[in-house]
Structure 1
C-alpha cells in the first residue's frame, strides 16, 4: 500500500474521525475479473505490485489516489460482498466495546504490516463491518467525488437493538428522519450536531420489499456523474440491476451487483455548493 499519511497515537487515523468510514474492499471469487469490471465501470487503475492476477489484495486508484481494494475469497462459503471499514484510534479497545455492546468479532484485530491494524465485526443482528486503525495507509485518498466512495448505511430489522449498538461503540450523534415512508437514522461523528451536512452514515430498515431471509447488512455507495449511464454500463459488463434508478432527496440512485454478484449502490448527487467534509478530523 502506497499512501504516506501517518496515524497519530492519541487520535483516529490521520484525517478520519472515530467511527467514520475510511475504506472499502470487495471479497471476490475472481480478482482479475473484478479488475476488468470496476476498471471499466469507474475508470479505476490497480496496483500491480500487490501480487499476481490470480489474486492477492489489490488496491484500486481513482486519478492516482486510493479508492478501494479487491481481495480474493479464501473460502467459497464466504459471501461475495463489499465491506466498509470504520476508522478507529485503537482497534483492540473498539473491539472490546463491540463485544460489550452485544456485537461479535469475526476476525480479531490483526496487524497488516506497516499499513495498519484491521478487524472484522458483526453488530447484534449480524451485519458485518470492518475496523481500520491506519498507520502508513490511513484510508481513502479520494472520496465523495465521482467514481469513489460516498456513503454507507446499515439495514436492520430491529432499530431498538441496532441503533444503541453503533451509538455506544462509536459515540455517534444521531438524528431520526423519514425517507420514502421508512424511518431512517443518520449518524454524525461524536461532537458534531447530527444532520445531513455532517452525516457520515445511517441506518435503514429491512422492509417487506426485501426477501424474508435477508439478514442485516451494509450497503456501500459510490458517487457517479450519471446514474442511468452507470446502470447501462453495469448491464453491458455482465452485472445486474437490483433497484432501478430512482430520484431521492439526496440524488438519483440505483442498487447494482457486479458480474460476480457483489452488491453496491451508486448515487448521482445533485449539483450544489461545497460543504465541509465531516469525515475529516
Structure 2
C-alpha cells in the first residue's frame, strides 16, 4: 500500500492539469472536501489541494499546446537527470527537462513509449504528498496501456519496478511494487486496454484512485456535478468497491472503498 515513507520509484506527488483551475478546484472541493491553497502569480497559477492541513494533490493550468485535462502521477527519483537519461535510453520521450522548483525539489516530465504521460519528483524541501491512503486521498496509481508488455519493459528499465501478474475480469492485471518492496509496498497496476477500447481510439494514460468512505454516494455526487461515467460502482473481488469517471473537464480518475477499509 502507499505510504508517505517514500522510496525510489514510488508515487510521491500527483497533480491535475485543467483548463479552468477555479472550476476544477470547486468540483474536487465539493467531492472530497479539499481546499485550494494557491501559490501566487510567481507559481504560474499552480496550487495545492489540502485536506486537514495536509497536501493531498496539486493543480495548475494546462501549459502545453494541445494538452487535455489529466491527472499526472510523479514517481520519486534520487536523481532527475539520471532518470531522464534512463527514459531516453528506454525509448521514452522527454516532455520537460529536469528543472528546479525553487527549493522544493526538482522535476521532469515524460511520455512512455506507449503514449502515457508521467513525471518524476526529486525531493528538496518538499518530500511528497502529506497524506495518502486516508479517506479522500490518493490510494493507487493505474496505467491503462495500448501495449502492456512494452510498458512493463519500459518502467522496469527506468524504475526497476517489481511486477506480479494476476488474473482479473478475464484479463491479466499487473501489480506494481518498488524494487524490493514486496507485497506490503504495492503502489499501482498496469492493465492492457481491451481490443474494443483500442478500436474505439482509447489511448494509454495514467489515472489515480482515491479512497472514499462511500463509493456510491461519491459517484452520485460526481455525476450530479458534471462527471461522465466510465465504470459505474461495482465490486472488484479481493479489491473492494470501485467506480471510474471523467471529471467535468475530461480528466479520468477512479474511487475505491478498499476491502480492508
TM-score, length-normalised on structure 1? Answer: 0.86
Over the residues paired in the alignment, what is the CA RMSD in angstroms?
1.6
**Structure 1 residue aligned with 2:194:** 207
The corresponding residue for 2:28 is 38
Q: Which runs of 5+ in 1 are unaligned?
A: 1-13, 273-281
Choose between structure 1 and 2: higher helix proportion: 2
Trace 1:119-158 onto structure 2 (pairs within 5 A).
119-158=108-147
Query: After the TM superposition, which residues 1-281 of structure 1 pair with which residues of structure 2 at under 5 Å, given as runs?
Result: 15-48=5-38, 50-51=39-40, 56-75=45-64, 77-193=66-182, 195=183, 197-212=184-199, 213-248=201-236, 249-271=238-260
Deviation at 1:159, TM superposition (A): 2.4
Q: Secondary structure at the match of 1:47?
A: strand
Partners in 2 of 1:98 and 1:76 — Cα distance? 22
Separation in structure 2 between the aligned mates of residue 179 and residue 236 of structure 1, nearest angstrom: 30
Between Structure 1 and Structure 2, how many residues are aligned? 254
CA offset at residue 78 of structure 1? 0.8
Q: Deviations over 1:179-238 (max 9, x none)?
A: 111111112111233x3x331122111113425221211121111010000111002222
Q: In 1, distance between residues paired with 2:33 and 2:18?
A: 19
Distance 1:187 1:108 in 2: 26
Checking the alignment, whether the CA contact within 8 Å between 1:29 and 1:76 is kept in structure 2 is: no
Name the SS for the 1:247 alignment partner: strand
Quote the Cα distance in structure 2 between the aligned partners of 1:217 and 1:257. Answer: 13
SS of the aligned residue for 1:210 comes to: helix
Structure 1: 4+ residue segments shifted above 4 A = none
Asked if the contact 1:176–1:186 (Cα under 8 Å) also holds between the matched residues in 2, the reply is yes
